[in-house]
Structure 1
Amino acid sequence: MRGKLLLYVYLILGILEIVLLAYNSQSYFYLHPLGVILIYLFYFLNVHKHNYFLLLFFGCELINEVFFLIDFKYYFELVLSCYTLATLTMIYHLWPLMRNASLKFELDILLGPLLGVLGMLLIFWELLVMIFAKIPNYTVFFIGFAALLSWIFFCTIIPIKNRHPQNSLLFIMGGSMAIMAPTMFIHTFLWDHILILTLSMMSMLILKWVIAVFLIRKDQILSTSDDFL
């Protein structure tokens, strides 16, 4: 995989940004766009073509993350709208994999992941009960929540129905999003603690990294996916 140095710099820069946040440094806001540029360049060096949906995803995530840190409550509609749009762009990338997945359902294979998703939904529900009265805009919230559930569904069902080894990255992508979204709300509405903020920012950092790697390998996955149905 080409451009590994860019990937390493992206990860180091991301960790530095989180440390700066811990010390309330404003330098984060200057460094963060650089990290987004680095991870996109890493993608571009490997595929040698632009991906405008990925650019849109990174742009939305940049707005999402920056305005979340500035004031999530005040910019609630902007952050959730960008979050929803970013999620939909990734579902667009996953749709060809979903379309090629086997339609056969085997209970013994599905049971474990379905229980995991159910447990996650119960956690989301408990969180929703605690913060519901504090949500500034219910319409935007539930649209974003539906996008999150759709994302988790795609990232869970595709690796189950197509056992291509590279599809396991989808579990990491879904898990990162499942951590990022709730911790944003917990940090803003329930517990303003640096550990929660760090967990949220780490999940954002990992999510962009794994998405770039997955999309670099997407064509290979699609061309060999029939062997793992």
Structure 2
Amino acid sequence: MKFKYLLYLYILLGIIEIFLVGFQINFSIYLRPICVVLIYSFYVVNVKRHNYFLLFYLTCELINEVFFLIDFSKYFILVLTCYSLATFSMLYHIWPVVKRANFKTGWGDLLRPFLGLLGILFIFWELIFLVFKNLPDYYVFFPALTALLSWIFFCSIIPAKNKHPDNFALYFIGGSMAVMAPTMFIYEFLWSSSIVLYFSLTSMLLLKIFLVWYLINLDKILNCKEEYF
């Protein structure tokens, strides 16, 4: 990939952001738009075109993260609305890969992803019972939960049915999402520990790195002439 210094600078500023949250949250928030510019620029210089769905995703995630840090409970509707829009918008990118995957045969390959997904569902189910009574708004919560589970489902199923090596990144993308969303709720409503917050912020950072890396390689995956199904 070209212009890797943009990615390295993004990672450096992302680490500084996470470090500063415990000391100077305002300065940490000011760095976040710069990080969005860096990671989007890294994508554009590699694929040589703009991607307005990705830009929309990064903007929604920026709003989501900033207002989560300011006051998650106060801006609960805004945060979860942006999260839902961002997550559903990413399905646009992976849908061509989904359509090429063969879901009619070899369901034995899906056993591990389904077991993993069931495990995640169990954890989410228990977490919902713990935080549900404290949620400021129930109506926006369920679309956000649907977006989360849909994204994790596709990130788990696609690599099992399309074994292109670059699809392995979807496991990291889905895993980062599976960590990010619950830790946001745990930190706000159950255990306001800096450790939980750092886990959440680190997963946000890793999610964007793996996602942009995957999207840069998406054309190569779709145009690959080898059979990976």
TM-score range, shorter chain: over 0.9
Which aligned runs of 4 or more in structure 1 are off by greater than 3 angstroms? none
Alignment of 1:53-202 (within 5 A): 53-202=53-202
* Alignment deviations for residues 70-112 of structure 1 (CA, whole Å, 9 cap, x no partner): 0000100000000000001111111110001012343432111
1:223 has 2:223 as partner: yes
Q: Give the conservation status (yes or no) of the 8 Å contact 1:162–1:225.
A: no
CA distance in 2, matches of 1:109, 1:99: 17
**Which residue in the other structure is 1:33 paired with?**
33
* Alignment deviations for residues 178-214 of structure 1 (CA, whole Å, 9 cap, x no partner): 1000000000000001000000000000111111111
* Alignment deviations for residues 160-191 of structure 1 (CA, whole Å, 9 cap, x no partner): 11000000000111111110000000000000
Deviation at 1:225, TM superposition (A): 6.5
The letter of the residue matching 2:94 is L
Q: Give the conservation status (yes or no) of the 8 Å contact 2:156–2:171.
A: yes
Distance 1:226 1:91, change over 3 A: farther
Distance 1:58 1:113, change over 3 A: same
Distance 1:124 1:20, change over 3 A: same
- Structure 2: give runs of 5+ residues left out of the alignment: none
Q: Give the TM-score normalised by structure 2.
A: 0.98
CA distance in 1, matches of 2:227, 2:107: 21
**Which residue in the other structure is 1:15 paired with?**
15
The letter of the residue matching 2:19 is V
The letter of the residue matching 1:179 is V
Between the aligned residues of both structures, percent identity stands at 54
SS of equivalent to 1:228: coil
CA distance in 2, matches of 1:26, 1:85: 25
**Which residue in the other structure is 1:208 paired with?**
208
CA distance in 2, matches of 1:225, 1:37: 34
* Alignment deviations for residues 143-168 of structure 1 (CA, whole Å, 9 cap, x no partner): 10001110011101111110000000
Task: Please tell me the root mean square deviation across aligned C-alpha atoms, in Å.
Answer: 1.0
CA distance in 2, matches of 1:95, 1:43: 19
In the alignment of these two chains, the number of paired residues is 229
Alignment of 1:38-49 (within 5 A): 38-49=38-49
- Structure 1: give runs of 5+ residues left out of the alignment: none
The letter of the residue matching 1:143 is P
Q: Give the conservation status (yes or no) of the 8 Å contact 1:164–1:225.
A: no
Q: Give the conservation status (yes or no) of the 8 Å contact 1:84–1:143.
A: yes
CA distance in 2, matches of 1:187, 1:15: 19
CA distance in 2, matches of 1:190, 1:221: 41
